[in-house]
Amino acid sequence: MKTFGEKEEKLGLVLEKLKNLNLLNPKLKEHSEYLDDQKNQLEIEKQQLEEKYKGLLSDYDDLKQKIKEQNLSQKNRELRFNEKIDELNQETDILLGEIDKWQT
């Protein structure tokens, strides 16, 4: 499948060639106008696709930033969780030490 750029380029070349011809023949003029209309339609579609692409690219960047922020937040929560576990382990060790003192 040809891309819009390739189609646009070919239509441009054909239009240039047709403009250089003697347009006394009404069918040639009609065909030239038809090709010109197609070219204009392709340019409109190309512009719409470029706008959609820019929107998608912006959405992608936003989502990428949100994921980065969520990952950072998750890492911070994991660090705090690990710190709490370490604190509990230390308190458990202290309590076990106290229990050992009482039992002896």
Residue labelled with tokens 């403009």: 19
Average pLDDT of the residues of the chain = 87
Overall number of domains in the chain? 1
Of the chain, the percentage scoring pLDDT greater than 70 comes to: 92
pLDDT tens digits, residue range 43-81? 999 999 999 999 999 999 999 999 999 999 999 999 999
Task: Quote the domain boundaries for residue 40.
Answer: 4-103
Strands (E), 2-87: none
User: How many Cα atoms occupy the beta-carbon half-sphere of 45 within 13 Å?
Assistant: 11
The CA radius of gyration of the chain, in Å to the nearest whole number, is 35
Identify which has the larger pLDDT, 34 or 68. Answer: 68
9 falls in which pLDDT band (50, 70, 90)?
A: confident
State the Cα–Cα distance between residues 92 and 104, nearest whole angstrom: 18
State yes or no: pLDDT of 23 exceeds 60.
Answer: no
pLDDT band at 19 (very low <50, low <70, confident <90, very high): confident
Question: pLDDT-derived band of residue 15, with 50, 70 and 90 as boundaries?
Answer: confident
Please report the pLDDT score of residue 10 as a whole number: 83
**pTM, rounded to two decimals:** 0.55
Q: How far apart are the first and last CA of the chain?
A: 87
Indicate the helix (H) or strand (E) that contains 60: helix 26-103
